[in-house]
Structure 1
Amino acid sequence: MDRFQEMQVFMAVAEEEGFAAAARRLHISPPSVTRAVAAMEERIGTQLLSRTTRNVHLTEAGQRYLEDCRRILGELEEAEEAAAGSYLIPCGYLTVTAPVLFGELYVAPLLTDYLDQFPSVHLNALLVDRVVNMADEGIDVAIRIGHLHDNAQHAIKVGEVRQVICAAPEYFERHARPRHPAELSTAKIVMSSASHLLSDWQFMDGAKPLSLRFDPRLVVTANQAAINIACLGWGITRVLSYQVARHVADGSLEVVLEDFELPALPIHVVYQKSNRVPAKVRTFVDFLADRLGADVTLKSLGKGVG
């Protein structure tokens, strides 16, 4: 292997935290991975990975070397893409990330249209309910819900969503509708822990912020699970308005305590700042901004579906 290939192998081992997993990712044999890392460590003269019977971890030197590898290989990829004209013509591999439900409901249905327009692009969609580090994980474009704090990124606002409290009509037939957030202390609550936006229940009582902590009888790790349980009439949940727009529209869920909601959260399409933005990124960002910006369920025009 040349040094660039060795760097790719080392990055795979570090990110997968294992030699076998790295081999599967790179489609090479585990012995080849082991030999490549051993050759690197011998040439450099220091241990890059700490090995146990179960796990592989970076040493301090390995962490620094990993960062250098990412930078060097990133610059190499940029140079090759520039030479191939990818800054003019959309081509190559494009990775996008979005929250799970948002990705399933809004992003995934659009991907095939984009691919049909740009047949030289290959897309990978990472749908996870966590804030992905774009630089560390090789992300080209991200959908962010909430306020942004990274000045190293360009952002285009495409909509807004509300944090809503809702339950099925059947639940409200058995229990009184809460008129104030404090009344939720006696409600049957199903809470999603997938995002801090949902597990930390905050409200506005007039001009005064109101933060409430609950001891819910049921906690789930997926937003869709909380929504499904609420639709069954078991209890009240808190979700983002886009996640239940369809359920509110067809009457299977009702939103309450609207007068106590926090201001709407912005939705942005985000990409890394760079002197040269590849055509695949430019076109995909423009495509998403146009399609998502036109979606009425992503506009907070008042109470209701949101």
Structure 2
Amino acid sequence: MMHDAETEHMMSEDLTPVKPPESELLIITGMSGAGRTTAAHALEDMGWYVVEGLPPGLIATMMDLIARHPGSVEKLAVVLDVRSRGLYSTMQEGLAQIEASGIHYRMLFLDASDDLLVRRFEQGRRPHPLQGQGRIVDGITAERELLKDVKAEAQIVLDTTDLNVHGLASAINELFNDNGPITLRLNVMSFGFKYGVPADANFLADVRFIPNPHWVPELRPLTGQDEKVREYVLVNEGAGEFVDRYVEALMPALDGYRRENKHYATLAVGCTGGKHRSVAISEELARRLDQLPNVTVNVIHRDLGRE
């Protein structure tokens, strides 16, 4: 990590813009408590040079300074201090300077559900940096509003709600290993509507049009991962056609994600309780989508096992 004294020493040098073609820049932002520090440590373990708490206005300055020592820093990750007003406009000015220099950069935005963020702050027995005299949830709401434009600009949005420390480190390693980022990491998530729609869903499929195995006595105790339930779901009129057409409809969207340099997306498939239909359809969609080029598919059954 870079200390303040080092930063002050570097800023005292002449700052004539220099293009460092060998340097790669990753900007890390996101919600407080969503795992920015864990992501930074994972990148350090992979050989990245990490600077934490840098004001957005100093991004271009930092890159100019590194350019004066060619080869000294090939991969730089900057964790921005995102809690200042005017963040978006200041960051845009810095990124415009970087783009003018021809430097390649990506932005990673870490997010998590409000409930999880509240639990993390309560477990850590510390206030949210923006809550003031209010509640933790008030600080989270204020930060979401502050960062909404920043999130929209990010090439990679990673939801850490279902990731522990090790899971987040693994996701960072998969996205930014030496072989380059994966082209597209697609999470296919089954869920039950009665437990709420996943907040991070990029695509949403409602399969409640398929007859519910819950009302078949011999299928009720089983799940969509059991062959009998899978067969019951997929042979119903319209189910197979739905899967075929949904995969076909997703293909141009996934191609568009790749063109826009977005590497992470979630397809949420919902039924009433998240036990039978959504699980079976998610498994089938994942099987089909995993056959597409440059797509890595991960299956998550969010509500499986809940009563």
Report if TM-score (shorter chain) is over 0.5: no
Query: Which structure has greater strand proportion?
Result: 1
Higher Rg: 1
